[in-house]
Structure 1
Amino acid sequence: MSQQAHPDSGSAVLTVEDLSVLYEVEQPVAAVQNVNLTLHRGEILGLAGESGCGKTTLAYAINRLHRPPARISSGRVTFHDRSGDDIDILALRESQLRVFRWDKMSMVFQGAMNALNPVTTVQAQLKDTLRTHRPGMSRAQIRQRSQEVLERVGVDPRRLGSYPHELSGGMRQRVMIAMAMLLEPQIMIMDEPTTALDVVVQREILQEIVRLRDELGFAVVFITHDLPLLLEISDRIAVMLAGEIVELDSAEHLYQHAQHPYTRKLLGSFPSLSGERGAFIRTGVETVPSVKEYS
């Protein structure tokens, strides 16, 4: 479990209050319902739950990346800048959002091959971001910064001239992480960044994320359905079900003293690493229509 402390740990960098998101289709769907959440500086906050529970919708709403028919129906999302300023993200204009994103809060999307531009080199994609947000940088400074971030995530800087299809899955994911930390944001949202990677590469990526957090002090919202993975790397874990956060606790305490029946089901749906071979009976968690069934 992640236990690294930081000089400014404990202070809030993001506050989510009573946030709700509707999908306005023929029969409106409440995808996120009255979510309250606080993210602290230097913290890795895990967000767990089955597919369709609202994890990605919540992340997109926080960063104002949602598109119709999704609509934020209520709530407030506040970014607490190191400068002491509080920024109401939901009140930002589009021009302000373009400056805010990547600079203050970045996102690593699920599926690096889809997130990266397939017809543009790694160098060109990093350069576009820097030119947009740091227009005063020279060509030499842009190249130096691009090399620095690739080295930080364990990618040979000579890969700057490569296209995404020329990189392995693990390398593409590392490039996405490099892009997300390019402007040294205070928050990184990671939406299942290790999906479809083999277990060895997944382990390397997770170790890299924790190491970078320890070095640079940014906060992380790490989204996955894999609760055991979150138990290993997270400081705190929020468990989501049917659009609601049903449990939020430290990783250690949640593992030892889970309170909500759904959390206990999630913990019980993975095999034990000890005991007699063949003795385990999988208890799989089925998709449920309502939180009430677990109340």
Structure 2
Amino acid sequence: MTNDIAPAAARPAAGNTPPEAVLTVRDLNVVYRTDPPVHAVKDVSLTLNRGEILGLAGESGCGKSTLAYAVNRLHEWPAEVTSGSVTFHDRDGGDLDLLALRDEELRRFRWAKLSMVFQGAMSALNPVISVRAQLEDVLTTHRPGMSRQERRERCAEVLRLVGVEPRRMHSFPHELSGGMRQRVMIAMALLLDPQVMIMDEPTTALDVLVQRGILREILRLRDRLGFAVVFITHDLPLLLELSDRIAVMLRGEIVEYDTAETIHRRPRHPYTRTLLDSFPSLTGDRGAFLRTGAAARSDAPGEEDAR
């Protein structure tokens, strides 16, 4: 298959200015108060720079989505952030302690400064409300001064940005294809020009061709609009193509955190090597892959969990 997404190392960062942090996570811990308690996120520290795509990789259940929900304050009991900090560095000036925001402050912050594209657009979108009504609801809530015509024009604008004909805003979610629904979710996340977008496995349920089309759109929009992205997936090879930096999670911890090029060429942690070796080469010898993969798995900690 031809690689039509430029490798991260070959892409310039958005703009030519030195990296500037937009989101920092320090020593974050999340515990599910079950019996027994589950320590789902353990002392995680990350920095997201402006215009950067930060990939977050790991197997199912390793804590990727839990971390994303903690950053966006979407958890409900029994999940609890027990310690750590999440700081948003607003380009308009000032730092926001996201874990300390009150309900009204948090409501104003979400979507306007930081938006989220959830896994499974059919579950995230309301099935009995048109796309137009759902998009306009975001604008009505956060931009109450906009007229009805201005809201319609903005909705049409963001739909065009993600490659959806504005006439489809009158459709209901079930009338759209899976790829189109996911593009609508991305359009909704872009409505208020956020500085950060968290994407929780946005292409997992899509076929390969649709997936790659959406990934190209994400790169194009990032370069055009300058927002930063946290892209969550279990597909490490995909992140090697898409991301500037990658964090690899295992059992709630970040076990490797480096540039995409370094992780591709010189992975340090055995679990990262196992993830890379779990995807066979399209041109290599099958027997060589099996031997290499088996050797990597034998060195990896927690072999049973890694499988």
The TM-score bracket by the shorter chain reads over 0.9
1:124 to 121, 130, 133: 133
2:22 matched to 1:16?
A: no
CA positional deviation for 1:289 = 8.9
**2:4 corresponding residue in structure 1:** none
CA-based RMSD: 1.9
Q: 1:254 to 1:50 in 2, by over 3 A?
A: same
CA deviations on 1:132-188 (whole Å, 9 max, x unpaired) are 000000011000000000000000000010000000000000000000011000000
2:154 matched to 1:154?
A: no
1:202 to 178, 196, 211: 211
Q: 1:247 to 1:212 in 2, by over 3 A?
A: same
Name the stretch that deviates more: 65-74 or 6-15. Answer: 6-15
CA positional deviation for 1:39 = 0.2
Instruction: Show the 5 A alignment for 1:126-145.
Output: 126-145=135-154
Aligned residues: 292
Instruction: Show the 5 A alignment for 1:187-226.
Output: 187-226=196-235
Instruction: Show the 5 A alignment for 1:154-173.
Output: 154-173=163-182
TM-score by length of structure 1 reads: 0.95
2:230 matched to 1:249?
A: no
**2:3 corresponding residue in structure 1:** none
> Gaps (5+ residues) in structure 1?
none
2:42 matched to 1:6?
A: no
Q: Which amino acid aligns with 2:14?
A: H
The secondary structure found in structure 2 opposite 1:281 is: helix
Distance in 1, Cα, partners of 2:244 & 2:101: 30
2:43 matched to 1:34?
A: yes
CA positional deviation for 1:76 = 0.4
Identity %: 68
Q: 1:290 to 1:27 in 2, by over 3 A?
A: farther
Confirm or deny: 8 A CA contact 1:242 1:289 kept in the other structure.
no
2:67 matched to 1:58?
A: yes
Confirm or deny: 8 A CA contact 2:246 2:258 kept in the other structure.
yes
Distance in 2, Cα, partners of 1:265 & 1:256: 14
CA deviations on 1:193-215 (whole Å, 9 max, x unpaired) are 00110000000010000110000
Distance in 2, Cα, partners of 1:172 & 1:155: 9
> Gaps (5+ residues) in structure 2?
1-6
Confirm or deny: 8 A CA contact 1:9 1:42 kept in the other structure.
no
Confirm or deny: 8 A CA contact 1:32 1:57 kept in the other structure.
yes
TM-score by length of structure 2 reads: 0.91
Distance in 2, Cα, partners of 1:155 & 1:257: 40
**2:190 corresponding residue in structure 1:** 181
Confirm or deny: 8 A CA contact 1:41 1:219 kept in the other structure.
yes
CA positional deviation for 1:273 = 2.1
CA positional deviation for 1:84 = 2.0
Confirm or deny: 8 A CA contact 2:14 2:222 kept in the other structure.
no
Distance in 2, Cα, partners of 1:263 & 1:277: 20
